[in-house]
Chains A and B, each alone.
Chain A
Amino acid sequence: MSFLRLTGVQKHFPGGVVAVEGFDLEAVRGEFVSFLGPSGCGKTTTLRMIAGFEKPTAGTIVVDGKDLTYTSPNQRNVGMVFQSYALFPNMTVAGNIGFGLKVRKQSKAAIDRRVGELLELIHLEGRGDRFPYQLSGGQQQRVALARALAIEPQVLLLDEPLSALDAKIRIVLRKEIRAIQRQLGITTVYVTHDQEEALSLSDRVVVMSEGHIEQIGTPSEIYNFPSTAFVASFVGTLNLVNARVIDAGAGRLSIEGQEVRTTKAVTDAGADGRVTLAVRPEGISLGEGGEGSNRLRGTVDDINFLGSIVRIRLRLGEGTSGEPPAVVALDTFNEPHLRLPAVGEQATISFPTEACFVLGAARDGALASAEAGAEV
Chain B
Amino acid sequence: MRLTRLWWWIVFIVGFLYFFLPLLGTFEFSLGHPIGPVRATPTLDYYASVVGSTAFWSSLGYSFIIGVITIVVSIGLIMPTAFWVRLRIPRARPFVEFVTLLPFVIPPIVLVFGLISTYSHPPFPFTYTDIGSTALLVAAYVVLSFPYMYRAVDTGLQAIDIRSLTEAAQSMGAGWTRILLQVILPNVRVALLSGAFLTLAIVIGEFTIATFLARPAFGPYLSLLGQTKAYEPAAVSIISFGLTWLAMILIAYIGRGSRTRVAVTGAR
Which A residues contact B (CB, under 8 angstroms)?
51-53, 72-80, 82, 84-90, 99-100, 103-104, 131-133, 136-137, 140, 144, 147-148, 150-151, 157, 164-165
Contacts and interface: CB of A to CB of B under 8 A. Distances in A.
B172 A84 contact: no
Given A88-B165, A90-B186, A137-B268, A78 B262 contact: no
B170 A53 contact: yes
A151 B173 CA distance: 9
A99 B267 CA distance: 21
B174 interface: yes
B167 A100 contact: no
Contacts of B58: none
Contacts of B264: 89, 132-133
B171 A133 contact: no
27 contacts: A51-B171, A53-B167, A73-B167, A74-B172, A74-B174, A80-B167, A80-B171, A84-B164, A85-B266, A86-B165, A87-B168, A87-B265, A88-B183, A89-B160, A89-B187, A89-B261, A89-B264, A100-B172, A103-B172, A103-B173, A103-B174, A131-B261, A132-B261, A132-B265, A136-B268, A148-B172, A164-B266
B265 A84 contact: yes
Nearest to A141: B267
B260 A133 contact: yes
A139 B266 CA distance: 12
A99 B172 contact: yes
Size range of the chain B interface in the assembly: 20 to 34
A373 B200 CA distance: 67
Given A53-B167, A86-B161, A100 B266 contact: no
A137 B266 CA distance: 8
B167 A90 contact: no
A72 B179 CA distance: 14
A9 to B, nearest CB: 19
B263 interface: yes
Contacts of A150: 172
Contacts of A165: 267
A84 B175 contact: no
Contacts of A76: 171
Interface string B166-194: 01111111110010000100110100000
A165 B262 CA distance: 20
Given A84-B266, A90-B186, 19 more contacts: A51-B171, A72-B170, A74-B173, A74-B174, A77-B173, A78-B171, A80-B168, A84-B161, A88-B169, A89-B160, A89-B261, A90-B183, A99-B172, A100-B173, A131-B261, A132-B261, A132-B264, A133-B261, A136-B268
